[in-house]
Structure 1
Amino acid sequence: MSGCLISLEGGEGAGKSTVLAGLRSHIEARGIVLHVTREPGGTALGEAIRRLVLDGAMANVCAESELLLMFAARAQLVREVIEPALSCGDWVLTDRFTDASFAYQGGGRGQPIERIAELERWAANGLRPSLTLLLDVPVEVGQARAARRGSPDRIESEKAEFFERVRAAYRARAEAEPERFRLIDSNQAIDAVLRAACSAVDPFIAKQKEGA
């Protein structure tokens, strides 16, 4: 596959939606065919799973079910959207990918890393982003931002301790894979965050232009 997969990761209130919109404009302005998607979601099946997983009325969903639902949505997204786009040489920008499961279902819920890795190999077809932008923000700051968006969904309703584990898992993955991750301080003005994200993407754009 000759395209480029870029994922945007981070905890609640990290500013992903704003950065995603800015990155989309930045990449498309350079003539690159870009597909933008999200997780869970991005397909009819994925969006149905998203509504189920985030439904606050589904308080008794066990950790194993949550993990499998996330990967069911991901399996469909990979085969229906991401792999076809990459095979055509297009780019894909996704709001979350498999690293989110290592952080939320692994770090947050305590699911074994080996189990998630096996699902990554099987359900996600072993696909990993060329670049992962991790927007990092202190949990209390992120939660305060998220609270201003309105009523929390099922996952957003978790306690601070859950999100501290999520953040620690994200940072551990970034430290373990520095060639793929770019850790961006999201506890600053959003313009600065977006500039850092665009700067991280620019070398990939330059490489694309060289090969054109």
Structure 2
Amino acid sequence: MGADDEKEARKAKIRQQLEEQAASGRKKKGFMTPERKKKLRLLLRKKAAEELKKEQELNAAERRKVIEERCGKPRHGADTSEAELKSICKLYYEKIMGIEWSKYDLEKALAMKDLQIYELNFAVNDMRGKFIKPTLKKVSKYENKFAKLQKKAAEFNFRNQLKTVKKKEFSIAEDETAKKPDWALGEKEGKAKTPVAD
């Protein structure tokens, strides 16, 4: 019964404090006071930092495990013979080739999956009536206008409109220049050629 008396005494004390607060006009502070909020934030930050650190450690351990699984444990070649070094190199080479083949297979499988996804999306959009807009090339809007202007300029080009002249029609042949007409020959030459009548 002593415990019941203590509970009653506490309740009476709390009632008395509440009545005093009501009489003085002060309101009771809420449960989440600014100090408690600040402490709660600090605790949450600490907890988040611990969780992040644990997650990073787990990721690092998993990574080490995968590296050891794929590459094996590191070996020191200081005290090994040449034949053992060759066998170690051959082993590593085979592992590297196996990893490269698996990488190639995974890349091809990924490309096939991407292609299937694209085709399925295209089929779904086709069924809905929505068509995928093709990616358009960037074209200068002035390019066509410039080409048209060049065609018009070619029409007005005077060199294109001039008639072509064959140069041989007006050129003097060398044979004609060597042969002189009768009137161009001098008197001496003319007399020599004409017969003299006695």
User: How does the TM-score come out when normalised to structure 1?
Assistant: 0.17
The structure carrying a bigger helix percent of its residues is 2
- Relative to its length, the structure with more strand (as a share) is 1
Give the greater-gyration-radius structure (CA).
Answer: 2
TM-score under structure 2 length normalisation: 0.17
